[in-house]
Each structure stands twice: as structure tokens, then as C-alpha cells.
Amino acid sequence: MAKKSTFETIEPVGARVLVLKDEPKRETKGGIALPDASEIPTITGRIVAISRQVEHDDDMPLRQYDKIIFHPKSAIPVDFEPDNQLYVVPVEDVVAVFRKKSGPDKNSDAGE
């Protein structure tokens, strides 16, 4: 009898990131429930792993746990955990990163 192999982690290779896609919206901001056929497609998610190439590229502003917007056309679904929506996404398909606005820099001389 062959042993069934189990994977513990997924590490993207090349210029790719592993993204946990956000759940599709089932309700509008105003509280109107949407039927399944008219769900607003989500293209946001959280980076759960990045490749070594992306990690060591100083020109690439992507880090683990960043919330991103990505183009889903080239995203490859990963059937790793049935209840998670994991996708391997090429970095060229990441179109934006959400960043929190930071306060004024204390060492800045802008106020002088």
C-alpha cells in the first residue's frame, strides 16, 4: 500500500507570491444582500508566502502578510486546504498594495 504524502507548506518560486484570496462580497456596504449569481468579484487577498526572488528584490515592495489587489487572469488556484482560497500569483499581476498611513516622521525637517 502506498503512503499518501501530505504537504505542510507551499513556497512559490520565481517572481510569484502565494495569496489567500478574500471571500467574495455577499452584501453591499448599504446592507443589501446579493444573490449568488451577482456576487461582486473579489480580487483582493493577503500574501501568505513570497518567493526568495521577490524577498531579495529591493525594488519589489511586497512582503508577507501584505494586503494586495491582484489581476486574477494568471492566478493559479492551489488545492492545498479545502476551506482556503489559495492562489499562486505572478508579481506582475499584483497591481496595488494596501498601506497604512504613517504619522509624521520625527526626524523629518519638513516642519523647520
Is residue 59 included in any domain, yes or no? yes
Check whether 64 has a pLDDT greater than 70.
Answer: yes
Specify the pLDDT at position 53.
Answer: 95
> Distance (Å, rounded) from C-alpha 71 to C-alpha 7?
27
For residue 37, give the 3-state DSSP assignment: helix
| Residue 80 near residue 86 (C-beta atoms within 8 A) | yes
For residue 14, give the 3-state DSSP assignment: coil
What's the CATH code of the domain at 61? 2.30.33
Is residue 46 included in any domain, yes or no? yes
**What's the domain range around 57?**
16-24+39-97
Is residue 106 included in any domain, yes or no? no
User: To the nearest whole number, what is the mean pLDDT of the chain?
Assistant: 81
Q: What is the largest CA-CA distance in the chain?
A: 75
Specify the pLDDT at position 112.
Answer: 45
Q: Which three cell numbers mark 65? A: 502578510
Is residue 109 included in any domain, yes or no? no
Is residue 112 included in any domain, yes or no? no
Is residue 33 included in any domain, yes or no? no
Phi, psi for 37 (deg, rounded to 5)? -70, -20
Check whether 49 has a pLDDT greater than 90.
Answer: yes
**Whole-model pTM over 0.75:** no
How many domains is the chain built from? 1
Tell me which of 47 and 32 has the higher pLDDT: 47
> Distance (Å, rounded) from C-alpha 23 to C-alpha 45?
9
Specify the pLDDT at position 75.
Answer: 92
Q: Which three cell numbers mark 44? A: 483582493
Residue 55's pLDDT band (cuts 50, 70, 90): very high
Specify the pLDDT at position 89.
Answer: 96
Is residue 20 included in any domain, yes or no? yes
